[in-house]
Each structure stands twice: as structure tokens, then as C-alpha cells.
């Protein structure tokens, strides 16, 4: 297949690039940190700014939607074409916390362009990737001579993704009628690398919990009592050790029930990616690879469920030693889920598993923080093929397919709206999401604009979900 870029699209984008970047910089200056209650006004300012900008872009409807937390932005631009498919773009306008003292070389909320990169908190995650749709739809109209997009275009840009999207499912349910669509396009992910554009076909789900173990009512002297009473730190550790078997498979009975296994075709496609494990380990800041036997690293992070210890604590953690049997210990565990797994069933499996494993004298409590569902679109889905084609035209090469190991609230859209979720992201692994010196590559950002410009026409022609 050959990809034909559209010179009209390219010319339009080139002509509006400077103004587009000026606008994005203005938005990035708003420190919309949803996890920081002191930034609530900034999150609202960010929503208002975006709604105004979408109106200016041409969306006939652009509203700020209230939640019990931070506000979201909704916009709608009907196609006017009879039978046009409806597409909902998802992104978020809130950002992770950032402070110079975390290791930023410049102020995180004073965007700086240097060597073709735009540095700012939110540059890639997710304001840049939300914003490319504004210029994208204008380029689509300019190049096609249309006055409205070829699809019924809806945008839902939430305001608390970085603080857990606590109110997002309710928001989607409350507005399910207006959000009705044929497919969701999530612009909050990345692609393989600068040279290898890819389309993501799924995300892992997530459920995480805290397990508190209680032993003696207070820390007790290990000389007087040690060796004769159960120690909650020991028991916490024994739980963790029992999470995985010797093959590093999760050993909780029922955990793998329903898991959609990788197809041979997917394994082939993964294996064809220019994956350099040494390089990947550098990105991971890890000095070794370790995971479930029988799967490659990419398969492990994209397509296999996991049980991970995010935190463990108990007893004395200060300098030197302290000869105590601690009174309590705590685990923070997260479970990545893949298609076919059910968060509720996994939570129950974890609860059942813990309950049987603790000795007399150790009481426990488990608190799950919630569950995000996994999502997966089959490779041959027509809308997925449209995304791949649009991206191929922008990048001038055939795109490949990946998955995303992380988890996102996009899956709630899949659930509530009952439609497939597709991913369109141009961020690359070096962009530093959630880290100091987050940036976006300007060339890739403009490829995002171009992809968006091609996508609506392609989807209108080919992409309606079966």
C-alpha cells in the first residue's frame, strides 16, 4: 500500500503552524494540576480556555461540563452529511504535578522551544495531543473545501485523568446520550519511536489495592518476643513472595481466567518491531529484564496481566537498627489486566487468596482503589485500519501496531458507550510523561495534526465499525 499525502493539507498546516504553537504555549502556561487542590482554579481556567479555543476553531458547541471534581470540556461539530459516522475524541486537559526542584532544566509551566522540542508539563501528556485536533480539523476543512467535518466530531477532554479520573465514569454515564458515537479516538498515548510510527490496538486495565496487616497491638521487643509471635512484616513479605511462582506467573488462583491470549499474527507483528532490549532497559532505568516465562518483554508489558508491588512498608525504616517486631505492615499492589479479565473477579480472587494465607494473630484489611478495564481492538477492525492509513499518509510509511501497557479511563468510554476505542498518539518514549523535562517533538506534533486532517475523511469513507 502506498500513502499519498495531501499537499493542500500540508500547506494549510505550514501556514498555521506558528499561531497553533503560540496557542498551545498559552495553554501550557496554565498549571492545571488536578492532584493539587491548590490548583483547582487553574484546572478550571484550563477548561475555560479550551472551550473558548474550540469555539474559535469552529465547533458550534463547546461547553464546560461540571463533575464532582474537576471540569471537563465537551465540543461537538456535526458533519451535516447524511449517515456520517460519529467519532468521539478523548483526551485530558489536566497535568501531572511539576516543580523545578524535581529536576526540570526550565520552569515546567514556562514553555520553552529548543532543538525542535517544546518543553513544558503537559506538552505530550496530554495538551499537545489534544490540541493537534484543532488544527487538524481546520486543515481537513481547508483541504476538502468542506464547512463541517466529514464525520460528526465530538471531543471530550477530561480534567482529572492525572488524579485518577474518579468522576469520569459518572460523567460519561450522565452524558451517554450526547456522547453516543461509532468509535472513540483516544489521543493520550504514544507511538514506537520517531522513525517507527505505530497505532496502539489496546491498553491494559488496572486494579490496585492496599493490604494492611496487623500483628501485635504495638511494636514489641524482638529479644523478648521475637521468634514466638507472628510478624506482620514477615507475613506481608510472604504474601508478596507467593504472588508469583518460579516462572514469575501470577500464582493467585483464577487470576488468568478469561485472558485473551495473543494471536500468532500479533506475536509476529510484535516481533517485527525494531525492539532493542538494551535500549529499552535504559529507558526503563532498569539493569535487567524479568517477567513471565514464555513471553518476550513486549508481550509482557503489552499483552500479559501482572501483579506488581508498588510499595511495601512496616516497622522501623530510620537509620541504623531497631530490634522490634513491628505491629503492622502494608502493601500497595497493582494488577494490570488484559482483555477478557474482569476487575471485580480479579479483586475477589485477590481477597480469597489473601484470606487463606495468613497465620493466626495477623489480621488484615484490603482496600481496592477501583478498577480500569482493559481494551483491545482487533487488527482487522475498519476504524483501526482508517487510523493506520491516516497516520501512514502523514508519516509517509506503513505504520505498525503496538499495544499500551498502561491503563486509562478511555476504557470507561468503551464500556458505557459500547463502541471500540482506537488510539492516535504521536508521543515518543523519550517525552518524559510524569517526569521532569517533559517535551513533545514539534515535527511529530505536526504529524499528529496531519494525521487528524486525513482521518475524518478516511473514517467517513471506510471506517464505520461493523
* Residues contributing to the site for Zn ion (CB under 5 A): 125-126, 188
Helix axes 7-28, 40-57, angle to 10 degrees: 160
For residue 161, the minimal CB distance to Zn ion (Å) is 5
Q: Which does 225 bind (CB under 5 to 8 A by kind): its own copies, Zn ion, none?
A: its own copies
At residue 279, φ and ψ (nearest 5 deg) are -65, -40
| Calpha distance 343→18 (Å, rounded) | 45
By beta-carbon proximity to Zn ion, the closer residue of 126 and 450 is 126
Length of the chain measured in residues: 466
Q: Which does 227 bind (CB under 5 to 8 A by kind): its own copies, Zn ion, none?
A: its own copies
Q: Which three cell numbers stand for residue 327?
A: 505491629
| Calpha distance 166→160 (Å, rounded) | 7
For residue 378, the minimal CB distance to Zn ion (Å) is 25
By beta-carbon proximity to its own copies, the closer residue of 144 and 222 is 222
Q: Which three cell numbers stand for residue 230?
A: 507472628
Q: Which does 188 bind (CB under 5 to 8 A by kind): Zn ion, its own copies, none?
A: Zn ion
By beta-carbon proximity to its own copies, the closer residue of 123 and 338 is 338
Could you tell me if 400 and 379 are in contact, meaning their C-beta atoms sit under 8 angstroms apart?
no
For residue 217, the minimal CB distance to its own copies (Å) is 4
By beta-carbon proximity to its own copies, the closer residue of 269 and 298 is 298
For residue 327, the minimal CB distance to its own copies (Å) is 7
By beta-carbon proximity to its own copies, the closer residue of 100 and 289 is 289
**Cβ neighbours of residue 353 closer than 8 Å, sequence gap 6 or more:** 252, 253
Q: Which three cell numbers stand for residue 122?
A: 503537559
Q: Which does 125 bind (CB under 5 to 8 A by kind): its own copies, Zn ion, none?
A: Zn ion
Q: Which does 323 bind (CB under 5 to 8 A by kind): Zn ion, its own copies, none?
A: its own copies
Could you tell me if 270 and 299 are in contact, meaning their C-beta atoms sit under 8 angstroms apart?
yes
Q: Which does 442 bind (CB under 5 to 8 A by kind): Zn ion, its own copies, none?
A: none
Select from 102, 142, 27 the least CA-distant residue to 435. 102
Q: Which does 107 bind (CB under 5 to 8 A by kind): its own copies, Zn ion, none?
A: none
By beta-carbon proximity to its own copies, the closer residue of 286 and 348 is 286
For residue 218, the minimal CB distance to its own copies (Å) is 5
| Cα–Cα separations (whole angstroms), residue 84 to 87, 154, 187, 347 | 10, 13, 21, 41
Which strands make up the sheet holding 400-404, listed edge to edge?
375-376, 198-203, 400-404
By beta-carbon proximity to Zn ion, the closer residue of 126 and 438 is 126
For residue 438, the minimal CB distance to its own copies (Å) is 13
At residue 298, φ and ψ (nearest 5 deg) are -65, -40
For residue 408, the minimal CB distance to Zn ion (Å) is 7
Amino acid at each position: 500500500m502506498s500513502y499519498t499525502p495531501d499537499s493542500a493539507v500540508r500547506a494549510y498546516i505550514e501556514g498555521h503552524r506558528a499561531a497553533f504553537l503560540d496557542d498551545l504555549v498559552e495553554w501550557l502556561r496554565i498549571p492545571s494540576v488536578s492532584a493539587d487542590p491548590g490548583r483547582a482554579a487553574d484546572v478550571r481556567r484550563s477548561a475555560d480556555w479550551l472551550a473558548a479555543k474550540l469555539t474559535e476553531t469552529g465547533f458550534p458547541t463547546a461547553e464546560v461540563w461540571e463533575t464532582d471534581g474537576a471540569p471537563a470540556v465537551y465540543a461537538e461539530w456535526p458533519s451535516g452529511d447524511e449517515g456520517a459516522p460519529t467519532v468521539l475524541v478523548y483526551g485530558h486537559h489536566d497535568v501531572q504535578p511539576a516543580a523545578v526542584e524535581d529536576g526540570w532544566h526550565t520552569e515546567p509551566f514556562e514553555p520553552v522551544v529548543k532543538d525542535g522540542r517544546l518543553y513544558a508539563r503537559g506538552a505530550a501528556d496530554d495538551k499537545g495531543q489534544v490540541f493537534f485536533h484543532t488544527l487538524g480539523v481546520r486543515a481537513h476543512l481547508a483541504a476538502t473545501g468542506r464547512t463541517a467535518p466529514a464525520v460528526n466530531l465530538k471531543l471530550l477532554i477530561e480534567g482529572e485523568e492525572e488524579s485518577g479520573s474518579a468522576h469520569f465514569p459518572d460523567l460519561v454515564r450522565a452524558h451517554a446520550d450526547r456522547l453516543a458515537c461509532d468509535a472513540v479516538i483516544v489521543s493520550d498515548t504514544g507511538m514506537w519511536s520517531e522513525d517507527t510510527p505505530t497505532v496502539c490496538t489496546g491498553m491494559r486495565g488496572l486494579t490496585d489495592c492496599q493490604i494492611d496487616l496487623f500483628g501485635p497491638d504495638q511494636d514489641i521487643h524482638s529479644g523478648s518476643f521475637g521468634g514466638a509471635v507472628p510478624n506482620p512484616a514477615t507475613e506481608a513479605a510472604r504474601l508478596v513472595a507467593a504472588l508469583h511462582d518460579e516462572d514469575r506467573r501470577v500464582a493467585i488462583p483464577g487470576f488468568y481466567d478469561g485472558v485473551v491470549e495473543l494471536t500468532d499474527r500479533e506475536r509476529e507483528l510484535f516481533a517485527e518491531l525494531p525492539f532493542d532490549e538494551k535500549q529499552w532497559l535504559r529507558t526503563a532505568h532498569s539493569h535487567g529484564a524479568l517477567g513471565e516465562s514464555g513471553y518476550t518483554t513486549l508481550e509482557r508489558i503489552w499483552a500479559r496481566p501482572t501483579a506488581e508491588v508498588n510499595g511495601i512498608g512496616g516497622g522501623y525504616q530510620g537509620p541504623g537498627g531497631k530490634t522490634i517486631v513491628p505491629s503492622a505492615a502494608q502493601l500497595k499492589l497493582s494488577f494490570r489486566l488484559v482483555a477478557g479479565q474482569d476487575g471485580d473477579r480479579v479483586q475477589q480472587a485477590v481477597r480469597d487468596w489473601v484470606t487463606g494465607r495468613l497465620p493466626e494473630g495477623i489480621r488484615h484489611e484490603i482496600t481496592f482503589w477501583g478498577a480500569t478495564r482493559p481494551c483491545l481492538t482487533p487488527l482487522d477492525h475498519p476504524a483501526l485500519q482508517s487510523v493506520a492509513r491516516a497516520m501512514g499518509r502523514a508519516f509517509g510509511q506503513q505504520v505498525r501496531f503496538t499495544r499500551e501497557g498502561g491503563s486509562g479511563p478511555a476504557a470507561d468510554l468503551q464500556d458505557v458507550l459500547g463502541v471500540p476505542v482506537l488510539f492516535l498518539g504521536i508521543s515518543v518514549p523519550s517525552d518524559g510523561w510524569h517526569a521532569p523535562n517533559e517535551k513533545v517533538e514539534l515535527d511529530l506534533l505536526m504529524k499528529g495534526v496531519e494525521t487528524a486532517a486525513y482521518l475524518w475523511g478516511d473514517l467517513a469513507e471506510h471506517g464505520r465499525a461493523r
